[in-house]
Structure formats: structure tokens, C-alpha cells
Structure 1
Amino acid sequence: MRRSLPLPATRRTSRPRRALTATALLALAAGLLSPLPRAAAAESTAPSASTAAPVTDHCEGQCSDILPPGSNGNATLAEILAHRTLGTRPAHSSDQLGPYNDLVAGHTSLTDGKLADFFNDASFGVPEDQVESVTRPREDVTITRDKKTGVPHIKGTTREGTEFGAGYAAAQDRLWLMDLFRHIGRGELTPFAGGAEGNQGLEQQFWPQAPYTEEDLQSQIDRIAASGERGELAMADAQAYIDGINAYAQKAKKGRYFPGEYVLTGHIGPITNIGEIEPFKLTDMVALASVVGALFGGGGGGEVQAALSLLAAQEKYGTQKGTEVWESFRQRNDPEAVLTLHDGSSFPYAGKPDKARGTAMPDPGSVTPEQLVFDREGAAKKDAEAAVKVPSHLKPLRNMHDDGVLPADLFGKPHGMSNALMVSGKHTAAGNPVAVFGPQTGYFAPQLLMLQELQGPGISARGASFAGVGMYVQLGRGQDYAWSATSANQDIIDTYAVELCEPDGSAPAKESLHYVNHGSCEPMEKLERRNAWKPSIADSTAEGSYRMQVYRTDYGMVTHRATVDGKPVAYTSLRSTYRHEADSIIGFQMFNDPGYVKDAESFQRAAEHIGYTFNWFYADSRDTAYFNSGDNPVRAEGVDASLPVRAEPAYEWQDFSPEHNTAAYTPAAEHPQSVNQDYYVSWNNKQARDYTSAGFGFGSVHRGDLLDTRVKKLVEQGGVTRASLTRVMADAGLTDLRGEAVLPSLLKVLRSESITDPAAAEAVQQLESWLDAGAKRRETSAGSKTYAHAEAIRTMDAWWARLIEGQFKPGLGDGLYDALRANLAVDEPPSAGHGPTGGHAGSAFLAGWWSYADKDLRKVLGEPVEGALGDTYCGGGELSACRDVLLDTLTRAAATPATEVYPGDENCEPGDQWCADAVIHRPVGGLTHDAAHWQNRPTYQQVVEFPSHR
């Protein structure tokens, strides 16, 4: 088995400032910076249907998809200026946001006939009367774009031409974004996009996870090319794709219709056109793939923090009781957890060993994080005019990227936001399976994903691909089948404690730079990246520089230092997909090959070639199927995957070879999988019984329950349609998990005695009314930007953190409470700014203490609890005392003004509840987009039902 796949995320937009006159803009547009369309005029022909006939489309008009804000993610400098001053946007840059947003109000009356109001037609080809443009970048490929969305439909008469066209179209739509992400993948974002604090933070988050040299990147390419016929073909496809990117970049640069961000960041002169768009190369694609893998396809890690919380539990309760309590919060195999495979099947992996061996617990107080940043200079803000001379017509764009082009903590938060709903044909109205699924990759402007159709020899698919690695469709549909994925997050990352040493035999210190490797004292490999930047039109950060430094061992990168049993060690992080980020290209190649994927079984075989941790879902006219992919290392007997382990041969992965980071991996038969279960749901929940999820929080209440309860009810009723399955998806996506799943128990405790305080009684009544209405976060009417039950929602948002602290902190004590919070955040409401993609990220309720609160409250109420916590916490286990805690925290929460609950930001005024939740596409370039109603929903989404099969 082996690996590759795609990317994430969201945040701020600023309102356009109207500084330029229309006359000035017209003059600018007529000059050197004229905003030509994505395809240069000389390359385009008049709209026509002269492309080859499309392949047989077995979806017969019943496949739909959507990807806001729009397919066009490039804008010239003049278009950016016009947007920032007049509010205009280039064609097809925002035309999918409206239908996406409208589903909030429209889903309740949704029928199959109305799906087209909220989704695109995802059929193959473009009807003759819907052709907007045709581009022929070379003789063997045609790129046809449709009038409604501008999605590129790429048809090649040769395979090389098809891939060339895919790269060319990708550059037309996402050139600037691809350039950003290849520099992130190389740890070189600040020299490219400016020294803003956010940019520095982002490269510091990512580079230590994959600090590759150019030789490291090239070695991945060489190994794939030498791996067999498919590997050789994949690298040929990738090279043709790169050639297409570069061909468009060269023509755009020469014709002056390249993305305006190259001017704003100082790479190309606005008048002289001096400068360049650095050509892409194959190693850039490996760098891009490594970013994708870090964001969505990993799982595990965090063993050092887990060990610290275990130590805190043992200090609080003693070794035996403390371990039991810690395990109850770890919830490795909670019997109440929602499962994707609910048929009783078991797939044991990474569970708690009966007798752990080789565990390397740090001595209390000895852990220190490894230093990453050195030699920092400059980086202070300067006056705009002093930092760089800004032409008057460009001043509206000053400080466009002062916060950084992406969230600084993009790689530092849990990622798992996609969802999937599939129903077997036995339970649908037409007898064919129905699927509503897609990845939640966050909300960017432009989007990190892009839509495309690829038709050529051995390739036939339409769907979404991550910009820069789109030689194949990664999530989408073929001729008679569709597929999608959610992040699985099973544990493929381990932490090793390497014993430190000195080559002269002297006593080592925690700072020592040599380690014991199979009995020898060997030096750590020092890897460095020195980054420097200068001010630009879009970044007023002063000139600055700094150096990043990591140490690499055969057991991975050093992340912490500590002592274990008094001996100094370095803790390292080893990921099974490290040095193999691009290997999964083979699996995606198979997904796109109609000669390979012909049914559920062949799709599952293709998914075996994906090394990243994903849940894969498949539907055709006859079957549904599921397969969990990932390079799951076979651990030595007795190794506890949740805690650090000693770096000794006895505790290594089986067949481990550090040269290329290879090992034995669990066989495909041991991965959770199924065909034709009555229904499947996934919202990054636990896959199957005994399949241990990486990290905390997979207990009795999970976001996946919102889907499972609704789809189960729908299946019991029978006659499921595309519209009915979409309705329950949308309904779940507007529901507050805390309100639906935990509030009933909270109200039981509160109502166990009469409530005499008027303020508390009013708050309880408001919460009960909200619960009776479904605990939704939804407008009073479409476009009102005011929530129904707004006061109850405000109270819940203010209450949850107070509630959890009041419920658990007295019993756990400060130290253990804080240590467990470091393992699992207490809350993640829609208005949170701490999510994996920053504020306004849409995705919510992934990580929180909902299960802990639920189990503890039910225990206090005397209700049955499977997998109960190791102790009872609310009020010390006494119902009346627990009620006092809830009343006190609720009363304080209800009295908290909206301006404190929703403090405001650059997008929202303090106290604006709707805006605090709103989805806002974070600009990574010059375009911004309007805020949309909150939805807990995939970014790219398909609705499919195939009536026929090949």
C-alpha cells in the first residue's frame, strides 16, 4: 500500500474601499494591466460544440455538485483593483456561493426537481447551447467551459494532451494559489508572500513536519517512476500536467493577464512587467502533496501531551486509579460511540495492549519543547509609505496580507470536517443507491479545491481536485460511479524516545545532538531553512529574516526533550507517510480509470493504494461500499500507540527501514470495509468497533450522531430520494450538537427541583423552547440575519465553557483539568476562532467535552451508562449539588451580554451573533466574498444516484 491527496480552510474578508474613480479604472484597464479573461483572446475560438462526443454518462442527469464561491480563482491586478474599489468581481469567481447559501432556507421544501436550484448539473460534457468558451492550448486537447459555472471540461485525444490540458486549466483558475502552496510545502512562504506574522506562523507549523531537501523530494519521484507501469505512467501524467501549468503561466506573463497578486507581492513590476513566475517542476507537486497529507491525511501524534495528562491523573488519583480515570477520558473503544460500520463487525487496531511494553513516560516536569526559530531580525510594522513606495492607484490594496495569507495555526488544530451519507438501493424510492457526500476543506477565496472534468485515454471523471495536484479527479464521479472521502485519523504517527549520548562517551545532557541508534552513538541530522523578506505593496511588514532548525533522526523529527528514568532523551515524531507523500497518486489514477474501477470491489482495491488516512465511500447503480485507507504500521507486540515508546529495535514497527521510512503495514483485510450496509454515515467519527481512533473525544456524543439518527430514521421509513437525503444532511448541518445531545440531560438535572430564581427560570424556559424547535442555529426568515431563539443560543454559547469548568474542575483539580483540556478542547461552536481554519470556518462541533458531560450527567441522574468515566464529577456525584453547579453557571451565562459572547472582529460588530457564526471565505489573494449563513456542511458536495451501469 502507498499514498497522495489534497487540502483545507477560512477567514477574513474586508469590504471593498471605493478609492479609485471609474475613469481611473477604465484608464487602467485600457493600459498595460488590462484584465483579459483566463484564456488569452488569441488562444480562444468562438463557442462551439466541435469537441468529441462525450462518453456514456450513466448518471442520466442525476448527478449534482457544488463548490463555492466559484470556479474562477484568478484575477488580474485591474480586476482586483476594481473589486476593492467598486465591488465588482471577475466572471465565475462567486456564482456558486449564492446557491450554496440558499440551501439553508430552501432545504425544508426540497424535492428532486428543485436540486438544480442549489447544486450544479454534474453531467459529463457541455450541451452546445451552454458552451461559453473553447480553448485549444495544443492540438490534442480542448478545454470547454460552460456558461453557468465556467467549470473546465478537458477532453484530450491523447493521454499526454489530456494531462497538459488539466494543468493548463488549473493554472487558468488557480495559478496564484498553487504558487502559494508549493512555497508552503517547501517552508518558504514568507520569502514569497511576505513576512506577516501569520505567514511566519504557518511555515513554522508545517515545515517541521516535512523538512525535505530537494533530494528528498526527488527521491519520491524516482521511486514512484521505478515502481512499475502505473508508477511510470503517473509520473508521465504529472510531467504533462506541469507542462500545462507552465505553458499557461508563460503566456499569461507575456500577455499581462497573470494574477495580480504577483504584482502586489513584488514579484512582477506593475508597469515594466519585469519579473517572473517561477516555472513549476515535479518536486513542487511532492511539496504540494505533503501539505495536503499534513492537513487531511494524517492521524496520531500528540503522545507526549497524552503522557503528561496520564502523569497528572496518576498524581491526582494514584497510579492504578489515575490510569483508570485517564483511560476513561481517552475513550479508545467507547461502547456508546457512533460507528460508520454499525453491523457489529470488528477491526482491531491500535488498541490498549494487555501488558504494555517499551512505554517511555517522561519524568515529571522534565519535558521541554524543541526550539524551532532562531536568529529573528526585523518584522516590525512600518508606515506604509516608509516601508515601500506605493503607487497612488494601488494604495487601496496596502495591508491586504498583513495578517498572513492563511491562518497561522492551519496545521496545529484537529482536521476532520468532511461528511458522507449513503443509503443502499434496498431503501430508496428508485431501488438505486443514493449518496450525499463531500470533503470540508474550509472556505478560501479562491477555494483550495477546483472543479474539472477529464476525458482522455484511460481517464474519465468529473469532480474536485486540489489545486496543483489535479492531474486526476480526487473526489467526484466516473462514468457509472461516484466516490468521496472523509478524514479518518487513525493512528499512523508514533512518538519515540531516543536515548541521547555523546560520541566521546561522556554523560549526555538533554541538549545533546547525538542519539543511540541500534547500539551506536550517531549524530542527528541538522536541517535548516533561512527565510528573509522585504515589504511589498500588499504587505507593510518591515524587512526581516529568521532561521528554522530541526533535527532529524531515523525515528523522525525531534519535537521535545525530557528525561526518562533520569536519562536524557529526545522525543521524535515518526509518520508512516513521511517520505511517501506522493505515493497515493497510484490510487487516484485508478479512481479515474474506467478500465480499472468497474464495481465496488475494484474501487476498494484502488483505495488500498492510498497511504493517507481516509474513509472512502462509493456508490453506483447497484452497490454502496466503504473502505478505510492508510499505511497503518504493524507495531511490535505490546506497544501502546497512545503513548511514547522507547526507540529500541524491540519496539520498532515491524520490518522498519529508516532509509526510505518503510515498514510492514496492516493488510487490506484488516481495514474497516463493507459493501451494501443498509446505510453509511461519517462525520469523522469512529469507523468500527475496536478500531482505535487517534486522539480523545470519540465517545457517547459525537457530531456523527447528528447524521446517524436522521439517516437511520429515514431508512426505517423507506423510499429515500436524493432530496430527502440532502434534507437530513442540511438539517444536521444547522443543529447545535450540545443542544440536541446534551441539553436534555442538563434540563433533567435543572428540573429535578423547582426553579425559584426568575432569571434562571427564564433561561431554562428559553432553552426548552429552543430544544423543542430542534436546537437549530437558523434565521427567523431567509436573509434576516437574526437567529430564531437567539437568546437561548447566546446563553448556550456563554454557558458551555462555564458549565464544563464547574462540572469537572473541582473534581479533577487544576492540574489534571488543564492537562486534559490540552488533549481535547472544551468547545467548538460556530463562532469559535480556534478552529483548524480560523474564525468563520463553517465546520463546528468536531472537538469538545460533549461525551464527558453527557456520561457524567447521566451517571448523576442514575441512568445507565456504558463506558462511564472513572469518577463522578458534577457536584461530587450528588444530584442536588450538581443542580446547584448548573444553576450557578447558567445564571452567570444568561447574564453575559452578547458583546462579550461575540466580541467582534474585522468582519463583525461586537454582539452580532449571526455574523459571528457566518461562513466567510478567507482571501488568499485579492478577491473577497460576501458572508454566508452558517452551515456545518462540506465545502465541495455531491448528490448522486445512478440509474444504470455499464
Structure 2
Amino acid sequence: MRRRIARLRTLTTSAALVLGASLLLAPGPGAAAAEPPPVTDYCGDNCADILPPGANGNATLAEILSHRLLGTQPAHADDQLGPYDALSSGYPSLTDDKLTEFFNDASFGVDPDQVASVTKPRGDVTITRDKKYGIPHIQGTTRYGTEFGAGFAAGQDRLWLIDLFRHIGRGELTSFAGGAPANQGLEQQFWPQAPYTEKDLERQVEYIKSTQGERGRQAMEDAQAYVDGLNAYREKSKNGRYFPGEYVLTGKIDAITNVGEIQPFKVTDMIALASVVGGLFGNGGGGEVESALSLLAAQQKYGVEKGTEVWETFRSRNDPETVQTINDGTSFPYAGKPEKARGTALPDAGSVRREQLVYDREGGATATAKGAAKAPKDPVKAPKKLKPLQGVYDDGVLPADLFGGAPGTPGAGNPANKKGMSNALLVSGKHTESGHPVAVFGPQTGYFAPQLLMQQELQGPGISARGVSFAGVGMYVQLGRGQDYAWSATSAGQDITDTYAVELCAPGGGTPGKDATHYLYRGTCTPMEKLERKNAWKPTLADSTAAGSYRMQVFRTNYGIVTHRATVDGKPVAYVALRSTYRHEADSIIGFQMLNDPSYVKDAASFKKAAENISYAFNWFYADSRDVAYYNSGANPERADGIDPSFPVKAQQAYEWRDFDPKDNTSAQTPPAEHPNSVNQDYYISWNNKQAKDFSASGFGMGAVHRGDLLDDRVKKLVDEGGVTRSSLTQAMAEAAVTDLRGEQVLPELLKVVRGKPIDDPQLAKAVQQLEAWHKAGSQRRETARGSHAYAHPDAVRVMDAWWPRLVEAAFKPGLGPDLYGALTAQLGVDEAPSAGHGPTGAHAGSAFQYGWWGYADKDLRTVLGQPVKGWTKTAYCGDGKLDACRDTLLKTLGQAVATPASEVYPGDASCKAGDQWCADAVIHRALGGITHRAVQWQNRPTYQQVVEFPRHR
């Protein structure tokens, strides 16, 4: 392949770095600055990536109507979906030469004969798009022009999505896009986490400018240039009548008169949007009230001492059998259990209630045909009746919880169930065929249409990178590659959110009620701040919901947002959530700026320095031609001595974060050396598993069986054999992506128990044989051939799906009792099979087996079998520890599973018929606009993914 060295350029001399004052001046639209010296791409042909469904996420009204009537797709809307899908069946024969069949060439620039279009929104920036996938390659001769071009390209590819998400972040989605339950759920999910006023958002911008030095000032200038470019496209598309068609379908613009407006974007919109992205993938902690309730249930069942011991067993704060990213035993203590806890504020039994969020609800019922909005008159003939747009407008997501189930459903209370789902596999050059490190990594951000992430290449003064950014905050590449290095992240989820119990008070004295709106802050009775959002909506073509309205309300204290009310020792309290990144949604921009700066990141050490400036909870991974490295980022608060972060804490100064100042929510934070970090370990894997010894996760589920085992076992085997290549490491990832965790890791113990004696029942014997054959074949959920829409072992898969929840309940509920079992399953769901509704996209989310009771069952079965077990009770729960009784329990539930028809195991939904096993698992991109895409084979893999091996270094 011809290289692109001569055409894409960026400044490399010290006089022209990011801080060079002359480069910060923006020439007018017709002016062109001098060409910078050339960029060298050190990856050769060894960098590849992919992001389904396609780069283009905008569609005009005509394109939407054509799609709905004729099934057509806008150009580049779904052209990466096929290669992405094909890997699930094509990986067994993968070679390095075949990687481009499943991934894009991620080299810098575009070959001349592959240029599809060239756009110059200003004289100092050019946007070149390639023919194959339409990815924007942005080359600026000034810093301002580069960022302006990034914003302009973002408008070209994601204008509607960016508008949608700024309204989600501001808690105004229903007023913007209609009152469908899914829209209500989105704003109810996110706004209470970051209920900012415009003044709050402006203060965050000023905080970055005033406290982060020259880089902070530059970051906000870059953000403004990005917004300027986004607004430039907004205006051009409106005037040219090629704006996204959703603006017509939601009544924002009249298709005939062009009357209406796409509201201008502001830098503060980027802060609101960043709060949504951070809430989806970069937060950690919380859920301390739910932990307190499950602890109380355990203590009520067993007494305080025994109950606490049982609870800690299930909490698994430092399980010695769990898979860890840093696997050499290095300890990084954080958020662990103190020897003697201080300040814990457990609620009185039966006193907890969740704070009400929604008030004054009116209307909102499904609109009748008579009351539905009229179809627009448009040069493109509209159908007589438009169905409501799918996805963000439909009823497919419960309003209470976008991620993992409404309150009261198993696992809904566990914050770990609501975090991002990404993976990484890196092998040191000591164990590769070439002698250079190999990495296969990416974020698992769910499947949306259009995708939340967007691909771009940025080349300009102080910026040289290609990869992806979240739409609307793409001033820099957030995950991708530089000239001679690549980086990626997985959600870490460590505890950066604490719950405080603020004592309620009456301002004039007397006894406060449980609903009091004043609280004691450092001895003074202080009023809570009431924050509101009033939303009203009308029926639109995009939404069949009738007109309606409601008001969201939260109370804010110096210790955070009120989430629950209760009594502690008889006194009324409000439980409030304090997140270290609250009021700091965009601070991480400094770290991303550094990662994009070729003059800053030159090696593993400087990479880690850049990652230190990212305040959200992520695991960061790095590879160049010499080194692999890992750093866990996050604004980890330094807690007072003796604080147990798993439970609510009294809101008193003695128990606050060290140096806590509520004005900007600042405090002392743990130093970088105390964050899990490493360079050149033999290999690294991460799939949202435990980071290192003594580094406590924020939720349940880091036990003996974790989906990280699917990667760790395979990569360790490759490393032991040596000669690892890009294709062999990709194969390890791809094989794990279609493997059932229960079948690989727990089924062997289940079979040992049930095979302890001959099985007389022929139906049970047949089921056991089917499960054994499935396990021997790899416990996979993979098509027999691409496009067959059928699994090789469909009966075994169905039996496992039906058996697992039954066997767990039968094994554990009798011993724990219904109350404690219910409390523990509220903390950690029993199962997370591919067909379950979970993850950022609800059902059909791809991500599976992130958290469940697999580790508990594995330990318990090994205890029954008399095998060595660490970190578990001496007596098993299954059959009260008796092998024959446990065997009877498993066989009884297996019989129930065998008798359950496929139509009940896979009940069907709007996309699938009941009983369709393949479709129930299938990945379906949840539409956030007017374009939908076909379902594809289930794969438990990153949404955006890179495969890299750098042969050279600067």
C-alpha cells in the first residue's frame, strides 16, 4: 500500500507547538497559513480499526423516508457493519494478511485515488473523506482551523445526535424530542446525576481556564473553535436544506417553509454532553444505601457478627481467586475495608425511601390516530402513515434505568451493573513474533444508530492523532493512535462516589420532618438548594405519545444530591451522593489534549503522565514499538481514616474527604503512584475486572469467575507458547467474544456434581450429554455458518439459559432465606446472558456476562465437591453442603429447564419472534434517529476496536 507521508502534515518544531502564540490566531475563512512540515506514520500497514455501523450518522428527510419505504441506506451509514459482523465466523482462519477483511486500514491520510470529497470550511483547514468508509481526515494549518474543522465534520456526521445528547445532559430531552417513555427515561437517568444550572456549567468552563494553566486556556479555546465549526455546519445545512430529517419529524423545522431553527451550540453544551458520557462510562461507586440494606438483611438473618461475615463473603472486596489486570501480585490498596470503621450511618430498619424525582405529571398517553401530528408536506412524497421512529422514541427502555433494569429488578441497585463494558489485550514484545508489542483493544460503548462514537483524524499544530471521539466532544481523539503509539481504555468503576447521611434540621428550631429541606452543615442549619426541570411535549411525527408534561426536582447540598430519606438512630436524615467528578465534567480534557500532542506523548512514561490528568475512572492502555503500559485514572478522593466506602457515612467534618471544599467540589486525591499502573508486564487483559491486589472495586461481582477469565486464559496460553501476532491476539479476543462464560467456567463443576451417580431419567441424561458436547466444543454461541442464524448446539444453549437462574435460586435461596437472597440479588443480578435486557442499549446490547453469580456458584460447587476454595464459607449453600442433596437440587432444576420451551426462554420482542434463539441474542443498533440497521450475530466485543503493532518509533 502506498504511504501517505507527504500529504498529511503537522508542525514538529518547538517554535510551532500547541502553546505557540502565533498559531493561536485564526486567519479569516479565505486566508491560508503556511504548510507545516510532513508527518511520518510509524505504523506502516500495522494499524487497523473498525466502528459499526458506519461513519455517516446524518440523514436528510428524503433519506429517512427512502429508508423507511424502500430500505435504502444513506452513503456510509452501515458499510462497517458487514466486516464487523463477519469476524464472529471468520476468526478461526484469520491471518495478519486477512485482518483488512474485518478491520479498516487505520493509517494516516487518504491515498489520492481514494479521495471521495474535499471540503474547506475555512482557508486554514481541509476535510478529506475516503471513498471506502467516508471517514473525515482533518488537516489544519492553524490550531483554530484544525478544531473548527473537527466541529464542522462532527456536524456533517452527527448533528442530530449531538443535539439530542446536549438535551439529555440538560434534562430537556422530552421537550426537544417528544415524551415517549424512553425519552423520559433518558433524562430521568442522567439529569439527577448532574443537575446543573447554566451558571454551574459556565463555572466549570472558567474553572478549567483559571486552574489548569496554559493547557486549560488552550483547551477552552479549542472547545470554542470546535463549537464554532459545529455552528458553521448547522447554519449551512439549514440554509442549504440538507439538515437531518429528524428536525422535521420532531416539528423543529417546517419541511416546506424552512421555518424553524436548530438552536446554536455553546461551549456549556459540551460540558452537559460530557456529563452524559462520563455518567455512561467513567463513573464509579455509589449504591452505598443498597449495600447498607443488604448488610442489615444479613445481620437480621444471622446476627451482627455472622451476618457481617456472610455479607463480606458475597461482597468479595478482595477475592484471592479473581482475575486481575496487574497479575504479578503488586498491591495498590484503595477503598478497602478498614480494621475499625468510623462514622458509618446505617439506616434504621424499614426507614429508607427513595427520593421522589418526578412531579406534576400530566398526559403522555399514547396518541390516538385522530390526535397524531400531521405528516409534513415535502417535495419528497411522504407515506400516508409514518410509524414512530424506533429507538429513542419507542417504549423499549424502562424509564427508571437505561442500563440494567428498573428499581426492584435483580441487580438494579448495583452501580457496577451500570458501567461501561470494554476490553483490552496487550502482549509485550518479549512474547511476539516480531519482537514489538501487539495490542487489540477498544471501548464497548453499546450499539446505537448513529453510533455515540465517531471516527476522525486530526492533524494540525500540536495535534496528530486518528481514532474516535464521543460525538459533540471531539476536540481531540479520545481513543486511537498517534504517530508512533496507540492508546485505549476500559471502564474501571473504582469508587469515586460516596454517600453521606446529612442530618435534617428545622431552621427555627424544633423537630424536623423526614421531608425537611434544611440540613446541618458543619453545625449550621443550612437550606438545601432546589433544582428543577419543567418539560412539556406535543405529539410529533417521530413520536406517537400524546401531549404531556412533568417536572423533575432534586435537592442539592454541600455533600451532593439527595437520593434517599431515612432515619438513623431515630433521627431523620437525607442520604446524598457525592461524586468527585461532579462540577468537573470536562476537566479530563487536559489529559486528552496531551494524548493528542506528539510533542508530549513520546513513550510509556509520558503516556502515564497524560492519563493522570483524566479524572474519570478508566483503565488506560498504551502500546508503541518498544513498550506496553497500563494506568488506572480517576479522581480518587482521599478519605478520612477509618471510613468504610461501602456504606453511607455521617456528614460531619471529621468524616469528610480530606481538604474537602464544596465550592467547586475539590478535595485531596490519592497520588498517581498509588493508582494501579505498570509497564511491560508480560501481558495485560482488561474486561472491567479487578485492577490489582487490594484495589477494591465499587460493587459486587469481582469473584472467582469473571468474564476477564475468558481473555486471561487465552492470552496467557498465547504468551506461554510465544510468537504472538496481531491475528492470533485478535483470534483470542474473537473467540472469547462468542463464548458463554457459564459454559466455559462453571459448567464443568455442574457436570461433576450431576454425574456423581447414574442419571436414570432419559430426558435429563440427554440434556447432560448435550451440555457436555457443547462444553467440549468450546461453549460457544456462534452460527454454524455465516448467515445461518442458527447455533451449532442450540438445545444446550437453550437449556443453559433456562437452567442457570433456576439452579442459582434453588441452590442459594433456601440457605440465605428469601429476604437476604432478595437483597443480594438486588445488588448483583444472577445472570447476564446475551438475550437479557441490559447494558447501554437495553436488549440486544452485545455486552454480556459482565456481572452475575457465576463466581458464587463456582466456589459453592467446588466446596460441595471437596475441592480447594479460597474466600468462601466452610459449608456450601447448595444442598446445605451435602453432595447428594446438591445433586438432587441441580437435577430437579435441570428438569425444569429441559421442559421450558424456547418460546418462554426467548419470549420475543419488537425485533424477534418468540423462540428465535439467534435473534434474541443478536446485536441490534438502537436507533437514535430515523435510520435503522439489520441485526447481526452476537459478539461480546468492543464497539470500536483497534489492532496495532508499531514496527518503528521516533
Q: TM-score, normalised by structure 1?
A: 0.94
Counterpart check, 1:477 vs 2:481: yes
Q: 1:137, 1:357 → 2: CA distance?
A: 60
Q: Is the 8 A contact 2:764 2:895 kept in 1?
A: yes
Shift of the 641–885 alpha-carbon distance from structure 1 to 2, 3 Å rule, reads: same
Counterpart code for 2:440: V
1:135 match: secondary structure = strand
Deviation at 1:404?
5.7
**Can you list the C-alpha shifts for 1:108-154, whole angstroms capped at 9, x where unaligned?**
00000000000000000101111111000010000000011100000
- 1:287 is the counterpart of 2:272: yes
Aligned to 1:403: 394
In 2, distance between residues paired with 1:363 and 1:562?
A: 7
Within-5 A mapping of 1:3-14: none
* Residues 328 and 870 in structure 1, CA contact (< 8 A), matched pair in contact too: no
Corresponding residue for 1:29?
Answer: none
Q: 1:406 deviation in Å?
A: 7.1
The C-alpha deviation readout for 1:241-294, integer Å capped at 9, x for no partner, is: 000000001000000000000000000001111001101000000000000111
CA distance in 1, matches of 2:208, 2:397: 31
Q: Specify the alignment match of 1:597 in structure 2.
A: 601
Q: Distance in 2 between matches of 1:395 and 1:54?
A: 56
After superposition, the C-alpha distances for 1:599-656 in whole angstroms (9 at most, x for unaligned) are 0000000000000000000000000000000000000000000001100011000000
- Alpha-carbon distance between aligned partners in 2 of 1:395 and 1:342, rounded to the nearest angstrom: 62
Give the match for residue 31 of structure 1.
none
Confirm or deny: 8 A CA contact 1:141 1:165 kept in the other structure: yes
Are the structure 2 counterparts of residues 869 and 182 from structure 1 closer, same or farther at C-alpha, using a change threshold of 3 Å?
Answer: farther
With over 3 angstroms needed to count, the CA separation of the structure-2 counterparts of 1:107 and 1:51, relative to structure 1, is: farther
Residues of 2 paired with 1:424 and 1:218: CA distance?
44
Aligned: 1:207 with 2:162: no
The one-letter code of the counterpart of 1:398 is: K
Aligned twin of 1:75: 59
Give the distance between the partners of 1:398 and 1:880, measured in 2 at CA: 57
Match of residue 275 from structure 1: 260
Q: Secondary structure, in 3 states, of the residue corresponding to 1:397?
A: coil
Alignment of 1:438-449 (within 5 A): 438-449=442-453
Q: Is the contact between residue 73 and residue 174 of structure 1 (CA under 8 Å) also seen in structure 2?
A: yes
**Secondary structure of residue in 1 paired with 2:622:** strand
Local SS of the residue matching 2:457: strand
Task: Report matched runs for 1:68-217 at 5 Å.
Answer: 68-217=52-201
Shift of 1:399: 1.6
Query: How many Å separate the matches in 1 of 2:70 and 2:317?
Result: 54
Q: Distance in 2 between matches of 1:404 and 1:833?
A: 13
2:245 matched to which residue of 1? 260
1:248 aligns with 2:248: no
Where does 1:278-317 land on structure 2 (aligned, <5 Å)?
278-317=263-302
- 1:771 equivalenced with 2:763 (yes/no): no
> Which residue of 699, 702, 708 corresponds with 1:704?
708
Matched, 1:378 2:370: no
User: Percent same amino acid at aligned positions?
Assistant: 72
Q: Distance in 2 between matches of 1:132 and 1:638?
A: 62
Report if the CA contact (8 A) 1:206-1:411 is conserved.
no
TM superposition shift of 1:410: 2.4
2:813 to 809, 822, 840: 809
Give the deviation of 1:396 after TM superposition.
Answer: 4.7
CA deviation after TM superposition for structure 1 residue 54, in Å: 5.2
CA 1:417/1:595 → structure 2, altered by over 3 Å: closer, same or farther?
A: same
1:529 aligns with 2:518: no
From the superposition, tell whether residues 877 and 395 of structure 1 become closer, same or farther in structure 2 (CA, over 3 Å). Answer: farther
Q: Is residue 422 of structure 2 the alignment partner of residue 418 of structure 1?
A: yes
Q: Cα distance 1:369–1:345, how it changes in 2: closer, same or farther (>3 A)?
A: same
1:439·1:939 contact (CA, 8 Å) conserved in 2?
yes
CA-CA distance at 1:385 after TM superposition: 3.7
Q: Distance in 1 between matches of 2:109 and 2:160?
A: 27
Contact 1:394 / 1:537 at 8 angstroms: preserved in 2? no
1:570 to 555, 574, 593: 574
Determine if contact 1:54/1:125 at 8 Å carries over to the other structure. Answer: no
The Cα of 1:201 is off from its aligned counterpart by: 1.5
User: Does the Cα contact within 8 Å between 2:906 and 2:916 map onto a contact in 1?
Assistant: yes
Look up the match of 2:507. 503
In 2, distance between residues paired with 1:134 and 1:721? 36
Residue correspondences, number: 903
Are 2:224 and 1:239 equivalent residues in the alignment?
yes
Matches of 1:268 and 1:398 in 2, distance apart? 19
Q: Counterpart in 2 of 1:19?
A: none
- Report the counterpart of residue 34 of structure 1 in structure 2: none
Matched AA of 2:219: A
Residue 53 (structure 1) shift: 7.7
1:744 corresponds to 2:748: yes
The answer (yes or no) to whether the contact 1:405–1:925 under 8 Å persists in 2 is no
Question: What residue in structure 2 maps to residue 646 of structure 1?
Answer: 650
* SS of residue in 1 equivalent to 2:746: helix
Q: CA separation in 2, counterparts of 1:948 and 1:642?
A: 46
Deviation at 1:411, TM superposition (A): 5.1
| SS of aligned partner of 1:386 | coil
Question: 1:373 Cα shift?
Answer: 0.6
Matched residues in 2 for 1:534 and 1:870: separation? 61
Say whether the 8 Å CA contact 1:220–1:579 is kept in structure 2.
Answer: yes
| Structure-2 residue corresponding to 1:675 | 679
Query: Post-superposition shift, 1:407?
Result: 6.8
Q: 1:405 to 1:132 in 2, by over 3 A?
A: farther
The answer to whether the Cα contact below 8 Å between 2:181 and 2:397 also exists between their aligned partners in 1 is: no
Partner of 2:839: 835
- Once residues 737 and 433 of structure 1 are traced to their aligned partners in structure 2, the CA distance between those partners, rounded to angstroms, is 28
Partner-residue secondary structure (3-state), 1:589: helix
Distance in 2, Cα, partners of 1:396 & 1:325: 59
Query: Which residue of 2 is the match for residue 36 of structure 1?
Result: none
1:322 is aligned with what amino acid? G
**What amino acid is aligned across from residue 114 of structure 1 in structure 2?**
K
Question: Matches of 1:240 and 1:247 in 2, distance apart?
Answer: 10
Contact 1:726 1:943 in 2 (8 A): yes
Q: Is 1:617 the counterpart of 2:624 in the alignment?
A: no
User: Where does residue 347 of structure 2 map in the other structure?
Assistant: 362
Between the aligned partners of 1:579 and 1:767, the Cα distance in structure 2 is 51
Matched, 1:429 2:433: yes
Between the aligned partners of 1:105 and 1:529, the Cα distance in structure 2 is 48
Please say if residues 531 and 545 of structure 1, whose CA atoms lie closer than 8 Å, have aligned partners that are also in contact.
Answer: yes
Secondary structure of 1:701's counterpart equals coil
- Give, in angstroms, the shift of residue 405 of structure 1: 9.2
RMSD over equivalenced CA pairs, Å: 1.4
CA-to-aligned-CA distance 1:692-738 (integer Å, 9 cap, x gap): 00100001000000000000000000000000000000000010000
1:318 to 297, 303, 318: 303
| Contact preservation (8 Å) 1:419, 1:437 | yes
Tell me the distance in 2 between the aligned counterparts of 1:389 and 1:777. 45
Aligned partners of 1:124, 1:397: CA distance in 2, in Å? 43
Q: Give the drift of 1:833.
A: 1.3
SS of structure 1 residue aligned to 2:371: helix
CA distance in 1, matches of 2:653, 2:140: 52
Aligned residue among 853, 860, 868 for 2:857: 853
Q: Distance in 2 between matches of 1:710 and 1:584?
A: 33
Counterpart amino acid of 1:510? Answer: K
